[in-house]
Structure 1
């Protein structure tokens, strides 16, 4: 079943974003920007073809329930994992791979790789035209370019979380040896440094486990086998490769594989800086694996400082490594290809992991039907909990990735910092943090890095203490003030040391979080506005400084400034992130080659937060092995506590912390849980307009059975439905708090006689005084069974309910439509009509890239309408629109091929856009398809003809519909665009042709 594009000329206009002035001209091939974001039809690179992941609508093994003649279902039962070793599974796998070959062959391509367990997809080299053909082919769900994705980078987090100690969670689970025992955590990352003390364990042998130790892994030929707490069996292997022998796996790291076909194809050997094996060259994967499930009580001493002991969150769990991210010589070559990541997910599900940690993301929010997200849907449907990092692009709004409902989206919080301070020679003292100042250091001479600039360096390089930017003659024996930014923080202290400096003050140029990195010289990290005072003093004659290991403790946990924020733009009725967990200055194992020889280091990022949640899921599944991922997720989300602001107050910023900060001590006793299954998630996708081919009825995102409640657009009154399942029987009473709205829970009392019983309730929200266009935050709490089951609520009221787009024809005409206000006043403004200049072009089937036309859109534009029409009435062309962001093409929308195609966007982001025109077939007897393109930009000025509405200032009653008539006149021939605007920026596009 083909997935129709989210917004096409057949479905009407899209609402995406806005801008102003227009220039149109062909883009030369040499000016092709970098690959777009998913989903898209533009291949990466600048050659004639690119690598794509083609996902088919038929279900993979993990969720297949039957339907193919002679092949029974392979979907595992509740609490079980998929078994890929049965004859039936092998037959279905062959059925899927045969389909892959057939579909690829239909456009003259062939699969480079096939996935069939968590993802029914194949990888192929395709031209843009081939990709478009597949998009409109029956049975194809999506066609997405193979993108390069990136890792998302109490002082002891396990102590802060209450895991350790006599009354801690580990003790309640039978001690660290049993905390997570019988569970396998799969880590999709940069690999592992197997020699680390965090992974030391007995060697694997061929001796089968005994009844006294049933979960001990063992070798079976070249495979590693482990019988698990859920009754299933994990079967992996220790894949050999560069500097990685099979003997490096043990009873902790029981399996290690690598997936690099896509990356190795893309990155030539001279640009690689990694091992072609599961070995970690960077350190990120080693850090996340040891955080999630590293050994107990591993002693750590680095840079001469004793940091005590560290322990993974689930020290009793086993680790399976899936290396799919790679180290190149620069940022453009470092990361993981989508195709490799999907292959890793597919294998992890086939092997039988229980938990997947995914500390990876893209530069923009992935669509819910992205191949990676779909693979995770099938993994979750097969009983695997997925913890994914939210991203490190905060504190700006709507900067997250991994926002689908079947994964846990994790934001990063602080733990107790290492307090430190900077004392200047004039007596001024500024507080900060440090992990490298164990005793008072100084007084020492102080110099600003710009004042110590090397002759070959510029001011920016010196300010940021970039490699080679400091003059040893000026730096020797001094403490240097370096600004944060541009390069990794530890590289700055390495430059200070190279130049003979003895210490560093790392200063934030603007208000940001503080990080306790391990530096090459004693370092204190301070924040703005203290930075300027330190720089001013450093410029005075005889400036001196003392670095001190003392200072006030900052309130914690706070959500880190870098932690990506909501709301989600792809999932407007879903509150994301889901939860916050420790992710700032987390001490864990690393790979020495990527850490200047260190075995342990402090890393910060949502990458560090996600494995905390993955480890806690392993703790949960060891105790409740038959629980679904959604139940585990619900238990964590409904037992959280609020994070704090910089002043120590409790925060209600749900777009930063989600449901709140994870609380392991309470999560094991959630009282009630919100469960969900594959059917719920497929219905959710259908509700977003994704054709899954499943036959499942669509549901609105607000009605997904989720532990939080989100309504992206509330107009008047809205009722949402939820179901809860009892973990602890009893009588539960509901309380709801939603300022500015009247909220009612029905029934408000639920009685559960036994565990496992499920009951349904509704929450009705009616707009009262809450302002339109502004998210209103509240909560619903069920009290009972000795617990409080809390769900955050976020609702965004809207001022008016009106059509998104209207169509008309002719030089003059009118159209009437219904508008329902939610406010007492409804002034209506009109803009346009507007028509941009027409630019001719030609395209043929051999133009594998098509023809590209840039469009510059400036701030203040109400609407942009991109249009293209083939000159011949029988010819068909397709239109694709991208936005250029930091030199990269980010997909916005596309149309199915037709003679006359157009796409409209209200309130677009300003900047450079690109129109791309392709054709799938030349008309008989022709070698070119002529066409004309234009972009109509509606602003507050200009236009031709006249557009009016009546009434312009109607008398309204909130909630009562009224009829509005739009009239246009004196509009010249050709497509023209206008905009009808209501309060708070809402509006209706009008397109006249």
Structure 2
């Protein structure tokens, strides 16, 4: 019997009903592109074990060399296995991946998915999802890079800052004509000097051409090899000694998107600007003069101005905007190539609509890139300030939040004398005093009032708008489109107002504009609605406290990590960042202000390059640890230190302090595999699971603290010293053992434990603090976040019969325990039969407010066919977000969902007849039980005791008793405890 393929639910605006209904239909699901991962190790982690195929994994401190005979032979072996597996189900491989992941992509239907799920050696199947760019006044100054005491000076100046390091930028491409990338041409002349960390003579790290291949010897003693892939409006001459390689990856995107809807260039050239912005932020030239719209903004610099840039374009633009981004298969190809080329750092300023699973092929590829010694900086996402809105939360990447820097400001002075300061990069000269109006008061006759207040294109009347400053609401249409509409209608200025607490952004508007947040925005809107309102816009004003975490920056906790891994990791400048862009996508500008975690990530990537230039053989996790443990808290709006670790992570990166961390928390591939096993992912490597909170990470997180828990960490000294521990965690007693660590020399390791006992901290409330090791003037600070919980209970208990009882144990963490039974629910089942190789399709709904849902499909366990189920939301007609659940010994596959999102479920029941005669008949039963506060029940379930005084930490028995339960259908009850957690009681 085959595996069950399932997907997580996505909320859709669809009519809901209770109980869930299922309607069979014969219209097949469309085929979709999927990535199939096999059990064999990829090149970067293969440590031998197959006859006549020696190991290809690089030794510690070195990068993999994919050009060796052994690497080529093993790659051929993997590709052969992938082709064989695809042929077994009648599929054709579209792309092979072998460097960072043993994966192939193929177009598959539901039957083939079920067959592959049952195929030995297949370890994962994932849909080819869309990923999108996550979109001091000088961030280099703010980070402490410039100046006599800055980090650049400590590294020998900007000409050496990042020398011998290559940053791979996976993004929308690059605009090579930008001054940020101006450099001498590549030639065949080989460099002089010996590649060492600080060469006294020559330039051993200068890239050169070997035929059409770019070669660059690097600081770690290995070699980068790349190429300048030509294409539309991009020639080999567009690469130089700064842009040392440029490639594009779009096979899957080009197959999906019709030519009529494609925009931009079919080449590494960037038409949108995002990739150019991130590349110039990470490694753009030093002291580049930046002007935009006639305004002089002084000079800008990349964080690692001496580093080389390797471009991997994998994000694309569509004409209507609906297919912008990149597909997983193209992104994995880009990651694979970057690792094969030999980059030192990857900047990954992009993300998916939802948090990417740890075993998603793109995250697996990034994991193996990190295992190969490559530092991976990722954007945390722009879905803040909502909780649990992060992406790229795997422990092997550095997840970056976006912070503010000293702002470009503008002041709004109203006719009533009130002044309000906001963000502005476009108010250079004073505007006014002139009339101030709400947009709806100067709208055209036919325009909708809401659209007019949003300043949607075509809604403002030129006869009524001319000569005025217009107040426009934020939302729906692009911010710069609002000022463009005001300008079209003859307005001379705009006040952009947030209708709720959000970020304020320094866009380059087409007319002078000041962006205000609530509550100031409300005051301006109200005043503008009065008769004869006037306003004056002036440059400058009181700057808000900084750095703050930007409102748009996504927040934790990570849902995938269950609160046992703190994300984001760190904060870097990401709001109103000036950098190079591509003119076609930016109103002809060469430089522009962008905001987003996409802008924060390349700051961290550039800092990692600086670190590697000083310590080329350090591990990526040691570098991350150094950044995190030397970070400083961000600020709240009133200027106080923030303790919001789910917004800032460890805090704002401190460039000058990070090179002197004192101690580092390192981790390797083996640690990550043990962590994956601990969160329930079968890595099929035989690695023993650890408690996820025990991953050797520079922060400590416990998603559910039941009374007491001990976590373990190991630190490595970067200098000799004696360190003493201090824990600040209110309401929780923390015991560090040993509390004093002695190190005689760099490289020594010491292991310690931290025992956490709940004292007065309330249940279910997030508790934050820190663990700090101090030696003289060196402090090594780790954020600590725990959530005490009132009870630890089993996820599911099972029973049979129309009546009966079962006793089970829970462990309370408080003195009071409550247990409430919701249900039992037994929705009418749907039955059917499938003959031979066949499929049948159903759709069901989960209503809003559902506490728990249980979906089951029962097959005859003695069936001679491979059977399975594919279900979930659809993208372009194909099932998405695949997960796997195997049938139990009785032939029933069950998916139990806690507090699921409301939405539509599409389900395909599939049989594959592999018998010699064919025509096997396979009966099945399908049922969905949704439990809400007032679900209709069939029978009764009670729990005793339902309220009790208990001893914290001591197991307590509960008894669930049932009667009147239907004998021939499944019944589901949700037993809910005082903290909102619960246990499924599954009957029959």
Same fold (TM over 0.5): yes
Conserved 8 A contact 1:878-1:894 = no
Aligned to 1:699: 690
Aligned equivalents of 1:307, 1:992: Cα separation in 2: 69
Measured in 1, the distance between the counterparts of 2:862 and 2:86 equals 31
Residue range with higher mean Cα deviation, 740-749 or 882-891: 882-891
Partner residue of 1:494 out of 484, 498, 522: 484
1:57 Cα shift? 2.0
Q: Quick one: distance in 2 between partners of 1:271 and 1:847?
A: 36
2:103 is the alignment partner of 1:121: yes
Shift of the 881–496 alpha-carbon distance from structure 1 to 2, 3 Å rule, reads: same
Residue 259 (structure 2) pairs with residue 269 (structure 1)? yes
Corresponding residue for residue 320 of structure 2: 330
2:196 matched residue in structure 1: none
Residues 1:811 and 1:29: Cα distance change in structure 2 (over 3 Å): closer
Secondary structure of the equivalent of 1:129? helix
CA distance in 1, matches of 2:295, 2:555: 35
**1:33 matched residue in structure 2:** none
Q: Note closer, same or farther for the CA distance 1:734–1:844 as it changes in structure 2 (3 Å cut).
A: farther
Q: In the alignment, is the contact (CA less than 8 A) between 1:115 and 1:346 conserved in 2? A: yes
Change in CA separation of 1:7 and 1:959 when aligned onto 2, cut-off 3 Å: farther
Q: CA deviation at 1:82?
A: 0.7
1:938-977 equivalences in 2 (<5 Å): 938-941=931-934, 942-973=936-967, 974-977=969-972
Matched, 1:585 2:576: yes
Aligned to 2:928: 935
**Counterpart Cα distance in 1 of 2:332 and 2:920:** 39
Residues 449/960 of structure 1: CA separation in 2 closer, same or farther (3 Å cut): same
Q: Which residue number corresponds to residue 911 of structure 2?
A: 919
1:511-530 CA distances to partner (integer Å, 9 max, x unpaired)? 11111111111111111223
Shift in Å, 1:28: 6.3
Tell me if 1:613 matches 2:604: yes
Give the alignment partner of residue 864 of structure 1, picking from 845, 849, 853.
853
1:303 maps to 293
Alignment partners' CA distance in 1, 2:166 and 2:60: 18
CA–CA distance in structure 2, aligned partners of residues 293 and 195 of structure 1: 15
Which is further off, 511-520 or 882-891? 882-891
Counterpart in the other structure of 1:52: 34
| 8 Å CA contact 1:834, 1:978 repeated in 2 | yes
Instruction: Using the TM superposition, give the Cα deviation of residue 930 of structure 1 relative to its aligned residue in structure 2, in angstroms.
Output: 4.9
Q: Deviations over 1:105-156 (max 9, x none)?
A: 1111121111111121111111122123222322222111111110100111
Q: Structure 1, residues 196-226: CA drift from partner, whole Å, max 9, x if none?
A: 0100001111100011101000111001110
Query: Do 1:490 and 1:517's aligned partners in 2 also have CA atoms closer than 8 Å?
Result: yes
Bigger Cα displacement from structure 2, 910-919 vs 553-562: 910-919
Residues 382, 925 of structure 1: CA spacing in aligned structure 2 closer, same or farther, 3 A cutoff?
closer
Q: Which moved more, 1:917-926 or 1:771-780?
A: 917-926
Q: Distance in 2 between matches of 1:141 and 1:317?
A: 38
- TM-score for the superposition, normalised by structure 2: 0.94
Look up the SS of the partner of 1:270 in the other structure: helix
Tell me the residue number matched to 1:12.
Answer: none
Q: Is this contact kept in 1: 2:664–2:716, CA < 8 A?
A: yes
Q: CA deviation at 1:20?
A: 8.1
Q: 1:888 to 1:134 in 2, by over 3 A?
A: closer
SS of the aligned residue for 1:154 comes to coil
C-alpha contact (below 8 Å) 1:590/1:598 kept by paired residues: yes
What CA deviation, in whole Å up to 9, does each residue of 1:844-901 have, x standing for no partner? 67666x5131223221x33221123348973774344536899997648543357433
- Contact 1:467–1:495 (CA under 8 A) maintained in structure 2: yes
* 1:572-618 Cα distance to aligned partner (Å, 9 max, x none): 21000000100000000000111011110000000000000000000
Aligned to 2:61: 79
- Structure 1 partner of 2:556: 566
Distance in 2 separating the partners of 1:99 and 1:554: 58
- The answer as to 2:882 corresponding to 1:900 is no
On the 8 A contact 1:640/1:661 being kept in 2, the answer is yes
**2:138 corresponds to which of 153, 156, 179:** 156
Name the residue aligned to 2:75.
93
Pair 541,626 (structure 1): closer, same or farther in 2 beyond 3 Å: same
Task: Tell me: CA distance 1:541–1:826, structure 2 relative to 1, closer, same or farther (3 Å).
Answer: closer
Q: Does 1:531 align with 2:521?
A: yes
Distance change in 2, residues 1:845/1:612 (3 Å): farther
> Offset at 1:275?
0.3
Contact 1:452 1:471 in 2 (8 A): yes
Q: 1:989 aligns with which of 980, 984, 987?
A: 984
Deviation at 1:450? 1.9
Distance of aligned partners of 1:894 and 1:76 in 2 relative to their CA distance in 1, 3 Å threshold:
closer
1:228 aligns with 2:218: yes
Q: Give the number of aligned pairs.
A: 965
Rounded Cα–Cα distance in structure 1 between residues aligned with 2:183 and 2:220:
23
1:4-48 Cα deviation digits (max 9, x unpaired)? 98999xxxxxxxxxx983341437688xxxxxxxxxxxxxxx963
How far apart in 2 are the matches of 1:298 and 1:197? 7
Q: How does 1:419-430 map to 2 (within 5 A)?
A: 419-430=409-420
Structure 1 range deviating more: 689-698 or 296-305: 689-698
* 8 Å Cα contact 1:415-1:584 kept in structure 2: yes
Instruction: Provide the residue aligned with 1:183 in structure 2.
Output: 165
In the alignment, structure 1 residue 366 sits paired with structure 2 residue 356: yes
1:450 paired residue number: 440
Counterpart CA distance in 2 for 1:920 and 1:791 is 53
Q: Which residue of 2 aligns with 1:292?
A: 282
Report the more deviating stretch, 749-758 or 483-492: 483-492
Question: Counterpart in 1 of 2:464?
Answer: 474
Residue in 2 that maps onto 1:39: none
Structure 1 494/286 Cα, relative in aligned 2: closer, same or farther at 3 Å?
A: same
Q: Call closer, same or farther: CA 1:274–1:717 in 2, change over 3 Å.
A: same
Of residues 882-891 and 802-811 in structure 1, the stretch that sits farther from structure 2 once superposed is 882-891
1:719 is aligned to 710
Q: Which moved more, 1:84-93 or 1:683-692?
A: 683-692
Q: Secondary structure at the match of 1:954?
A: strand
Matched, 1:649 2:640: yes
Are the equivalent residues in 2 in contact too, given 1:631–1:674 (CA < 8 A)? Answer: yes
1:384 lines up with 2:374 in the alignment: yes
Matching of residue 170 in structure 1 with residue 152 in structure 2: yes
Separation in 1, partners of 2:876, 2:758:
40
Cα displacement string for residues 728-767 of structure 1 (whole angstroms, at most 9, x for unaligned residues): 1111111112221111111111111110111111111112
Decide which of 645, 659, 677 is 2:650's aligned counterpart. Answer: 659
Q: Is residue 135 of structure 2 the alignment partner of residue 143 of structure 1?
A: no
RMSD: 2.3
CA distance in 2: counterparts of 1:925 and 1:85, whole angstroms: 48
User: In structure 2, which of residues 19, 22, 33 is the aligned counterpart of residue 22 of structure 1?
Assistant: 19
Distance (whole Å) between structure 2 residues aligned to residue 550 and residue 947 of structure 1: 67
Report SS of the residue matched to 2:798. Answer: strand
CA contact (8 A) 2:32 2:878 kept: no
C-alpha distance in 1 between matches for 2:632 and 2:777: 17
Would you say 1:207 and 2:189 are equivalent positions? yes
User: For 2:208, which of 189, 208, 218 is the aligned residue?
Assistant: 218
The answer as to 2:90 corresponding to 1:108 is yes
Residues 6 and 936 from structure 1, CA distance in 2 versus in 1: closer, same or farther, beyond 3 angstroms? closer
Q: Deviations over 1:154-177 (max 9, x none)?
A: 111111111100100000000011
Match of 2:11 in 1: none
CA deviation vs aligned residue, 1:898-937 (integer Å, no higher than 9, x gap): 7433222233334444444333338866487554322222
Contact 1:497 1:520 in 2 (8 A): yes
Please identify, of 898-907 and 325-334, the stretch whose mean Cα deviation from structure 2 is larger.
898-907
Q: Is the Cα–Cα contact under 8 Å of residues 413 and 584 in structure 1 kept in the other structure?
A: yes
> Could you tell me whether the CA contact under 8 Å between 2:29 and 2:110 is conserved in 1?
no
Once residues 21 and 203 of structure 1 are traced to their aligned partners in structure 2, the CA distance between those partners, rounded to angstroms, is 68
Q: Is the 8 A contact 1:6 1:690 kept in 2?
A: no
| Aligned equivalent of 1:781 | 772
For 1:215 and 1:135, locate their aligned partners in 2 and report how far apart those are by CA, in whole Å: 48
Which stretch of structure 1 is more off in the superposition, 367-376 or 498-507?
Answer: 498-507
